[in-house]
Amino acid sequence: MRSSYHEELDGIIEQLVHMASLVETAMHDASESLINADLTKAEAVISGDAQLDALHEELEYKCLSLLALQAPVAGELRIVVSAIRVVFEFARMGDLAAHIAKIARLRYPEHAVPKDLEPNFIEMARIAEQMVQLAKTTLSEHDAEEAMKLAKVDADVDGLRREHFQVILDENWQGTVEDAVDVALLGRYYERFCDHAVAVGRRTIYLVTGAAPTGEDWPNA
């Protein structure tokens, strides 16, 4: 029994890493659907989100069963409690990738991102993908130092958001109200996606060290 319990614990981490890969693909495809106005990719992200939601339910149930049946302590308790939070974060990240794909679908065959803000969103997409990769690596390698990088990278997202607000609120900007609303909401979705990646890092640090970092570098995501 005890040994199958340890297998289950290892299995949880593996499934979290698997969930991270699914989120990575979802965000990659969502950004492509947005930048290239690719309807097929957008549809794939939107319909694929159900898989992440199902994994969320399944893993949360598994963690709660472990808590109830095995009453883990110390480091093992930390793994289960962290896992409950991390599955939630990944599920939300999947939802946000789907929100981005839905805006791409809504504007198809037009591009949702105005031409002059394309570089801004390409960079935003690059950072979002980098962050989910960092989160995945820190999780699979239990590396608290790697996790600390997440908060640093996240600061760049805030800079990109300020930049696109400057563009759309400039009185000489040529975009429509609809363009501006899309940009504002897309920016919000990318920002929240990255906040959740930071939260995964925060939980990983807790998992590894037993202490959650606090302070300004760690936004409450």
Q: How far is the CB of 57 from a second copy (least distance, A)?
A: 7
Exactly one of 95, 129, 154, 191 binds a second copy (CB under 8 A); which one? 95
Neighbours of 44 (CB within 10 A): 17
The residue with tokens 């991390």 is 86
| 215 φψ region: left (φ > 0), alpha (ψ -120 to 50), beta (else) | left
Neighbours of 103 (CB within 10 A): 21
Decide if residue 181 touches a second copy (CB under 8 A).
yes
Decide if residue 172 touches a second copy (CB under 8 A).
no
Q: What is the distance, to the nearest Å, from the Cα of residue 217 to the centroid of all Cα atoms in its chain? A: 18
Q: How far is the CB of 68 from a second copy (least distance, A)?
A: 5
Q: How far is the CB of 168 from a second copy (least distance, A)?
A: 6
Stretch 110-129: interaction string toward a second copy, x if CB under 8 A: --------------------
On the CB side of 151, CA atoms within 13 Å amount to: 19
Q: What is the largest CA-CA distance in the chain?
A: 69
Site size with a second copy, rule: CB under 8 A: 32
Tell me which residues touch a second copy (CB under 8 A).
Answer: 53, 56-57, 64, 67-68, 71, 73-74, 77, 81, 84-85, 88, 91-92, 95, 165, 168-169, 173, 175, 177-178, 180-181, 184-185, 188, 212, 214, 220
